[in-house]
Amino acid sequence: MSKTWLITGASSGLGRLMTERVLARGDRVVATLRREGVLDELQQRHGERLTVLTLDLTDVSRIREVTREAFTRMGRIDVVVSNAGYGLFGAAEELSDEQIDHQIATNLTGSIQLIRTVLPHLRAQGGGRIVQVSSEGGQKAYPNFSLYHATKWGIEGFVESTAQDVAPLGIDFIIVEPGPTATDFATGLVHGTPMEVYEATPAGDVRRAVADGSFEIKGDAARTVDAMIATSDEPNPPLRLALGSSAYTGIKQALEERLQALEAQREVAYSADGN
């Protein structure tokens, strides 16, 4: 049975691949992007099964317009994929106020507003599924990515809470957590202004690793997208989906370290209770 998808950030990377894959199997897609013309070839090939709309997630009023138009045109949307976003690269004090504001407005506030906007439409049609593309960086943190991590940890908390709110209404969520994956993510990084004081710190180490190509990238984009689609097709998917061995091992290690630290604090934690 064919499905209808709304996919943001469809011009490149995982969003573009997912759009291509679900169209190829006969589904319908509303694809959003910031630059017109990028999907013209796909549009010609798939005709009315692909609707392309322009959307910048920092424009909340436009999010509402696009969502209205998408549901009006399609009648029903089965899966909403909140994928649009980018990475801000630099130690915290190397970043400008404008860079910080734009990162939060795009990755966090934009994703929140997209989800808030689609919820009434999903309720009206009796349910649906929202796939939020996060990252292993929503569960662990690398040096030099502090603001990116702030948005990913933030959106995961928002989704985990909202999922509980709307589960009785037939709406569920999948938080996708890919590890480093061979897409154009690195070329789309926005860089802060490097400060010499950070050259001999972990922030500098990561900066050099990304620049010289030694930062390990194990994830395959096509296999990642295939796993996302297959999980989205499941009747009862997990809330969180780690993709790639780097994501699995990195998240597992981070959770184990946090649990170990928590267990060591048990006596102190209980001491704060009232009598």
Catalytic positions are 134, 148, 152
Q: What is the DSSP letter of 125?
A: T
End-to-end, the C-alpha distance of the chain in Å comes to: 59
Whole-number Cα distances in Å, 99 to 6, 38, 88, 92: 28, 25, 8, 11
What is the dihedral sign for C-alpha 148, 154, 160, 163? negative
Do β-strands 4-7 and 79-82 pair in parallel, antiparallel, or remain unpaired?
parallel
Residue partners of 162: CB distance under 8 A and separation at least 6: 115, 173
Pick from 180, 186, 178, 185: nearest CA to 224: 178
Among the residues of 134-175, which ranges form H helices?
A: 146-166
Q: Which residues pair with 178 in a beta bridge?
A: 243
96 SS3 class: coil
239 SS3 class: coil
Pick from 4, 241, 242: nearest CA to 129: 4
Tokens (6 digits) for 176: 């996708």
Q: Which residues pair with 94 in a beta bridge?
A: none
